[in-house]
Amino acid sequence: MLIAEDEPIVRMLAADILAEDGFNVLEAQSATEALDVLAENKVEVLFTDINMPGAIDGLQLADVVAVRHPKVGIVVTSGRQRLEDWEIPDDGVYLPKPYDYRTLAETMRHQVKDGRFRG
């Protein structure tokens, strides 16, 4: 599981919840850093905020991941934008902020279960 979120407290809380749920969690504070983490690690699901500073935002990151890492499930979140699941590449899922942490864990488990990840 890779969390790409520029807000440190939001990222750390999500990482803690998912780690307590049994996920191996990696973190990135930008889309560019997330791509570096993906290049060096086995990741089942990318959980990314849409609005992040830098060269690319979270939705563009999801597009790149869908092409470069097609076995990685994608979950996109935002408190500013609303999307439908069909707007997210590669059968991704939209989880609006603020999200309930139980819903976060359930969404990630669902993406791993139904995802294409095969190691």
pLDDT band at 115 (very low <50, low <70, confident <90, very high): low
**SS3 of 51, please?**
coil
Neighbours of 97 (CB within 10 A): 14
Amino acid at 21: D
Q: Is the residue at 119 inside a domain? A: no
Q: Which of 110, 35, 106, 95 is nearest to 68 (CA)?
A: 35
Q: Is the residue at 29 inside a domain? A: yes
Respond yes or no on whether the N-terminal peptide bond of residue 98 is cis (omega within 30° of 0): yes
Q: Over 50: is that where the pLDDT of 53 sits? A: yes
The CA distance from 28 to 7, in Å, is 10
Query: Which has more pLDDT, 85 or 111?
Result: 111
Domain count, the chain: 1
Spell 69-96 as b/e; 16+ CB within 10 A means b: beebbbbbbbeebebeeeebbbebbbbe
CATH number at residue 84: 3.40.50.2300
Q: Which two tokens stand for residue 7?
A: 């807000």
Pairing, β 2-4 against β 45-49: parallel
The CA distance from 41 to 119, in Å, is 11
Q: Is the residue at 12 inside a domain? A: yes
pLDDT band at 114 (very low <50, low <70, confident <90, very high): low
Q: What is the pLDDT of residue 61?
A: 97
Kindly report the pTM of this predicted structure. 0.91
Q: Over 70: is that where the pLDDT of 105 sits? A: yes
Phi, then psi, of 75 in degrees rounded to 5: -130, 125
Q: Over 80: is that where the pLDDT of 119 sits? A: no
Q: Over 70: is that where the pLDDT of 7 sits? A: yes
Residues 55-82: tens digit of each pLDDT: 999 999 999 999 999 999 999 999 888 8
Q: Which domain holds residue 16?
A: 2-114
Average pLDDT, the chain: 90
Q: Is the residue at 108 inside a domain? A: yes
